Structure 1
Amino acid sequence: MNDESLHIRGGQDLPGFHNLLGYRQVSWEENEAVIELDLQPRHLNLGGVIHGGVLTSLLDIVLAEAGTYCPYPGRMRKAITLSLTTTFTGQCSGGTIRVTGCKRAGGTRIFNSTGEVHDDKGNLLAIAEGTFRIRSGSEKPEGVPI
């Protein structure tokens, strides 16, 4: 993936909720995606630890990315989440978290992915599995224009 696509997909150019989360794309290739987030006060719950909704949102993003890699600059593939199960296994209140997603199985329209979130000490914070459907027009590797 080129730097331009990383910036568009994981940088400040993203609209809405993605930009609000403030993550960055570390890597993205066929069947695998990695994003990182530097925790800020806005990511914490009332108890002062990372909010489960932030973890779930990041997992949703990276699991969908794992099945929608597009090698063509200026284009992307899109997916809709059909189901997502998240299990929380730890907590943290600062530092950088890393979220990884791997496509495990699928056909031309439906795929399954799994993922994990670790803090910067390597502690497991959450795991997830999800099922996604490729959006119409995104079935082919060249996807659709961004």
Structure 2
Amino acid sequence: MAKRMTNQIQALKNLSSILTPDQRSALLSKLDRLGADGSNWWRRDWPERPMGRLTERLNLTEAQKTRAEVLFKAWEKPTEARREQIRKLNAEIVKRAFSPNPDSRRLEADAKKLAGLMVEGIYERSRQMEQFRSMLTDEQKRILDEGHMMRRPGKRVW
């Protein structure tokens, strides 16, 4: 993942190198307005909580619903804190990449840090899914697994 991030940063630097200072400034201004820091991206199409669809699809009991809500609430703050770190770091990377003299070493270090945060998030979601699955019946696990296996890129199951 760090390699992919480094490649993306290199692409930003390459783009930046062909822009005039005025073009670079205009682009940064537009990115700021659009939320290039990721502030708009994370919540773009995300409902308050996916509990409604999840509850219906898995036919959770009242006890399971209560347990799921407790789990989701417990995960919310650390997940949002990591997302905020990613947003801020991503915004810094974009600004540094489009600066007149981008520091390649700093950008590479930031790319590795960003990749680390993203991998940490993947591991955390995996642990969360294990916790959630532990409260499900075998039939509910089967339904959950089928939904994930049939998911198409960019489409939500629930």
TM-score over 0.5 (shorter chain): no
Say which one has the larger Rg. Answer: 2
TM-score, structure 1 as length reference: 0.25
- Richer in helix (by share): 2
TM-score, structure 2 as length reference: 0.24
Higher RCO (CA-CA < 8 Å; seq separation 6+): 2
- Richer in strand (by share): 1
